[in-house]
């Protein structure tokens, strides 16, 4: 809620936030899209719907892969930006989830989700929602290998 309140104040009162991109001046900023996606994924995890390992991996993957693709594309071109994004997202999924199948599918879905530039729908949300829905569907219908049990990545409170 705080993120949304800050964004409403920024848009209505013209507040400038350090690090904002020029094209975000008159539209919802990427940090709001990212926070919304993360809250949505964590909410579905909390109600027992999404597996913990996929949620954690997807949020961390989106946080790192989106800027890696952006900077790599600027420096080395579109093709190499895609390759860097695939490598980054695959590495994060594989380190956290530890299942090659989900790492490959998740990284491809994330990079595809990042590609379209739609004014009213930011890639910071798409890079979380699209891979998560695909990976969850594969997990739900037992079309992929078994995941680590919930609580094995982050245990309950101290």
pLDDT in tens, 46-76: 999 999 999 999 999 999 999 999 999 999 9
pLDDT surpassing 80 at residue 119: no
Predicted pLDDT of residue 101: 96
Predicted pLDDT of residue 158: 45
pLDDT surpassing 60 at residue 141: yes
What average pLDDT does this structure show over 11-33? 76
What is the pTM for the complete model shown? 0.86
What average pLDDT does this structure show over 22-39? 84
**118: which DSSP letter?**
B
| pLDDT tens for each residue of 94-113 | 999 999 999 999 999 999 99
Report helix, strand or coil for 149: coil
Say if CB 97 and CB 106 are below 8 A apart: yes
What's the rounded Cα separation, in Å, for the pair 120 and 43?
Answer: 23
Burial 51-78 (b: 16+ CB within 10 A, else e): bbbbbbbbbbbbeebbebbeebbeeeee
Q: Which two structure tokens, joined as six digits, stand for 154?
A: 């982050």
Going by C-beta distance under 8 Å and a sequence separation of 6 or more, which residues neighbour residue 92?
Answer: 57, 60, 61, 64, 65
CA distances from 25 to 17, 30, 33, 108, 116 (A): 10, 11, 15, 31, 20
Report the percent of the chain where pLDDT is more than 90.
66
The domain segmentation of the chain, as residue ranges, is 2-140
């Amino acid at each position: 809620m705080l993120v949304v309140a800050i964004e409403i104040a920024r848009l209505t009162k013209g507040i400038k936030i350090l690090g904002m991109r020029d094209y975000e001046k008159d539209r919802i900023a990427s940090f709001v899209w990212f926070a919304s996606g993360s809250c949505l994924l964590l909410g579905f995890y909390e109600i027992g719907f999404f597996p913990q390992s996929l949620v954690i991996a997807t949020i961390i993957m989106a946080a790192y892969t989106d800027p890696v693709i952006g900077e790599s594309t600027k420096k080395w071109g579109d093709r190499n930006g895609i390759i860097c994004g695939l490598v980054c997202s695959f590495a994060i999924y594989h380190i956290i989830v530890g299942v090659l199948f989900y790492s490959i599918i998740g990284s491809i879905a994330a990079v595809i989700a990042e590609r379209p530039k739609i004014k009213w729908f930011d890639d910071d949300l798409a890079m979380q929602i699209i891979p998560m829905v695909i990976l969850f569907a594969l997990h739900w219908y037992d079309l992929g290998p078994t995941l680590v049990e919930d609580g094995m990545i982050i245990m309950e409170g101290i």
